[in-house]
Structure 1
Amino acid sequence: MCKETKDTTPLPTYGWEEIKKHATKSDRWLVIDGCVYDVTRWAKRHPGGERLIAHHAGQDATDAWVAFHKDHKAVGKYLKPMMIGVLKEGEAKENELIKDWRDLRSKAEDVGYFRASPIFFSLILLHIIALEVAAWFLLYTFGVSWLTLLAASILLVTAQAQAGWAQHDYGHLSVFNSSRWNHITHIFTINFLKGASSSWWNYRHYQHHAKPNRMSKDPDIRMDKLFVLGKVQPVEWGQKKKKGFFGLKFNFQHEYFFFIMPPLLMPLYFNYEIPYFLISRKLWNELFWMGSFFVRYCIMFHHFLGIWGSLCLYLWVRFLESHWFVWTTQMSHLPMDISHDQDEDWVTMQLKATCNVDPSFFNNWFSGHLNFQIEHHLFPTMPRHNLAKVAPLVRSLCKKHGIEYQSKSLLTAFSDIVGSLKDSGEMWVEAYNM
């Protein structure tokens, strides 16, 4: 029940039938821990973005709210003025699974799994900087040749990929106790070290975590002009006789995937989407810090390659990194359940949409510990070095409640991406020809 009602004047009570009516752009209610909040006016000022609020309108957002925020007392102060009532007695969406899940989270907090290791994250940043310095030193010492450029490219690609995983840590507030320091270091890592944007990443990535693999809510699966995904979308599009760009037929998507997503996502699409996002929202400060990356890159490599050569090196590095990024990020989501939002509980929704890749020193490093995708989605603010520690507890929870917990080898995970695209394409053509 709502804890905010203690020692206060009794507030109106609402049932789910009424709450679910308030899920429009001009009228948004949500429930957190039995309290009913009208967040309509607050939505546009929400640091995580308006859409994150919209995706939970008319629903119980308790576990999402707990998962995304570190200092619940501080954030709770913003909620108090928006409370308009309480959930009717007996209508709380709390079953045995949710009770066990919340007990598990409390246990993880008590044993310190949400405390970050300063040494671990310092070493992560140092090895990223060391890789970039090594690439520069290689060209400085041995000159420009195809062999030194290839070696330098490998070092730079590795630095960029690892910086991608590092910025992910800071973006999820999982390193420092202070949200402010997490935000500052996030800007340094993603804007200055990677040439992207923290605001753009927050806008996209928090939506993905809130409703993973849920059509119209997860931006990471909005690929319908190029790919149809899962088992629902292919049938819907096939029945409506829809095709992709320029009449693209989706039954070939498992083949043209290799020529579109891995090589072009970062050097082509992201280089368009991110500046557009920042300029359209007039985020000039972010644009400055993003631009500082390109200035830094040109300063580092201008002596060896000139301005245009430095930019060509950047695009080459992005081209290679894009393969790393796409295969690693898609392996845990694309083969999983992709459908419309069913307003499921936090645990069921996350387990349907995610799977793990078997742990090893290489797999952990290669994926930035995102091979523990299940644990990361359940505990997005947990430092990545503790995901392996909480994994046995999550496995036990899933076993007790009959929820499938998938973990597979790295190569199987890669293969399943292509296999799922092939299956979805076949569903599309079958529905299209009916």
Structure 2
Amino acid sequence: MAAAAAAADEKKYITSEELSKHNKSGDLWLSIQGKVYNVTDWAKQHPGGEVPLLNLGGQDVTDAFIAFHPGSAWKHLDTFFTGYHLRDFHVSDMSRDYRNLATQFTRSGMFEKKGHGVIYSLCFISVLLATCFYGVLRCDGFLTHILSGGLLGLIWMQVAYLGHDSGHYNIMISPRFNKLAQILTGNCLTGISIAWWKWTHNAHHIACNSLDYDPDLQHLPMLAVSTRFFTNLTSKFYNRKLEFDPIARFFISYQHLTYYPVMCVARVNLYLQTFLLLLSNRRVPDRALNILGIMIFWTWFPLLVSCLPNWTERVLFVLASFCVCAIQHIQFTLNHFAADVYVGPPKGNNWFEKQTAGTIDIDCPSWMDWFFGGLQFQLEHHLFPRLPRCHLRKVSPIIRELCKKHNLPYRSLTFVEANKWTLRTLRTAAVEARDFSMAPRNLLWEAVNTHG
């Protein structure tokens, strides 16, 4: 006992205030379970990218670490240990319950038991893809060709869900095969780089609904979910100012009317973002493999379209595929656009609270789970991103009770209700964009409140 006490006295300590000074590239420290780690050199090699580490730099990040890493990751931490402990380390009741729940899920094997959903999805996608190709290559009817285009949009939706799952946990038997699945589902079949998706998606999860840190809310000049964008916020993700100029003001003023048309052509922006990233001087993991996958997509897709008999059918085929796939883009925005927002970096000590505030679930019957890809349980997914989608419905009642215990919101709306909430949020910002003289009052209000 005396030896243990002496060892404890010999520990070196720093305060949270001192830790917070190590929060930038070139000097990046984090605390996990009260132990302080220097991840400065590791940040650029981090599989999840440097952005999540920078966003949480200089903080205790235990909850976020638990959310995104399997148990095997803990053994690698000693390499980065500075020898310091956090003197004022504290675990809130909410975090304690969250960590106990994560431990419970781990012990029950839920993170490892993925079910047969991947096999079913692959078979389903293969049948749909074969049907689409048959409709284009072997049938002559105009309606059949357009329906084939709509079918391709449904295929892209289902493929995106598989790509999303493979990005959060291994859906294949090994990391190497999982990477192959990512390139196949993302780059080859949808034309959207898995490297781009990881880059933005990890930042979104860490900084859920931060107006200046979450790229999934930064859609100027076309969309703005808050009047705070009217102050030319600086995007910490893109490292540029989000200009609320006359063009942006015009589009935002009518965004509740243009929302669905914009969603119908949203894929064009995703293709553009893919090219901008892969051709940039930014460090891109597996750049060559990503480019190869994109080249495959831009080979088979134009060839398929070219097999249609005339330009009218070709254009309508592409539009049909985009419009059906727009349902998925709408779903992604419904999960967050009408939820609470804030300005500033994410905080490591209120992980659970920020996820509940920034997410909205979509209520649907169990037989529709395949259509929403598990992401209708958006809060459950944000709290446990490594949890296979087959378990999300099972844990939903547990999460609901935990939210109730700690007086936190658990919002689950029908698809129609979620659309109404989102349109109301967009319309509120649109009206205020038209009368910019109202902005100072609105901005003062939003400085001390969030919307939802």
Normalised-by-shorter TM-score class: 0.7 to 0.9
Q: Does 1:265 align with 2:266?
A: yes
CA contact (8 A) 1:298 1:310 kept: no
Letter in 2 for 1:220: D
Of 159, 183, 187, 1:163 maps to: 159
Q: 1 CA distance for matches of 2:229 and 2:249?
A: 16
- Structure 1 residues 318 and 23: CA distance shift in structure 2, 3 A: farther
Matches within 5 A, 1:18-29: 18-29=18-29
Give 1:122's aligned residue: 119
Give 1:292's aligned residue: 296
Matches within 5 A, 1:341-356: 341=345, 343=347, 344-356=349-361
What's the CA shift string for 1:335-380, capped at 9, x where partnerless? 0011123525111010000011113145422221111001000010
What's the CA shift string for 1:268-324, capped at 9, x where partnerless? 211211012112147222111121123233555655559x89975774355224521
What's the CA shift string for 1:18-41, capped at 9, x where partnerless? 011111233211111211112222
Letter in 2 for 1:407: S
Give 1:101's aligned residue: 98
Q: Which is worse superposed, 223-232 or 366-375? A: 223-232
Matches within 5 A, 1:396-407: 396-407=401-412
Structure 1 residue runs of 4 or more that deviate by more than 6 Å after TM superposition: 6-9, 308-311
Deviation at 1:175, TM superposition (A): 2.5
Q: 2 CA distance for matches of 1:157 and 1:224?
A: 26
What's the CA shift string for 1:178-209, capped at 9, x where partnerless? 43332221112111221221111110101111
CA contact (8 A) 1:231 1:424 kept: yes
- Structure 1 residues 92 and 431: CA distance shift in structure 2, 3 A: farther
Matches within 5 A, 1:17-96: 17-70=17-70, 72-73=71-72, 75-89=73-87, 91-96=88-93
Q: Does 1:136 align with 2:143?
A: no
Using structure 1 for the length normalisation, give the TM-score: 0.88
Q: 2 CA distance for matches of 1:276 and 1:311?
A: 26
- Structure 1 residues 19 and 246: CA distance shift in structure 2, 3 A: same
CA contact (8 A) 2:20 2:59 kept: yes
Q: Does 1:416 align with 2:449?
A: no
Q: 2 CA distance for matches of 1:213 and 1:330?
A: 11
Deviation at 1:236, TM superposition (A): 7.6
Letter in 1 for 2:409: E
CA contact (8 A) 1:212 1:353 kept: yes
Q: 2 CA distance for matches of 1:258 and 1:118?
A: 35
Letter in 1 for 2:244: K
Using structure 2 for the length normalisation, give the TM-score: 0.84
SS in 2 for 1:142: coil
- Structure 1 residues 138 and 392: CA distance shift in structure 2, 3 A: same
CA contact (8 A) 1:232 1:338 kept: no
> Identical aligned pairs, as a percentage?
27
What's the CA shift string for 1:149-187, capped at 9, x where partnerless? 112112111111111111111111152464333222111
Q: 1 CA distance for matches of 2:395 and 2:106?
A: 10
List runs of 5+ in structure 2 lacking aligned partners: 1-5, 234-242, 442-452
List runs of 5+ in structure 1 lacking aligned partners: 1-5
Deviation at 1:264, TM superposition (A): 2.4
Q: Does 1:334 align with 2:343?
A: no
Q: Does 1:190 align with 2:186?
A: yes
- Structure 1 residues 225 and 114: CA distance shift in structure 2, 3 A: same
Computed over aligned residues only, the root mean square deviation of the Cα atoms, in angstroms, reads 2.9
Give 1:372's aligned residue: 377
Of 439, 444, 448, 1:432 maps to: 439
Letter in 1 for 2:134: F
Counting matched residue pairs gives 420
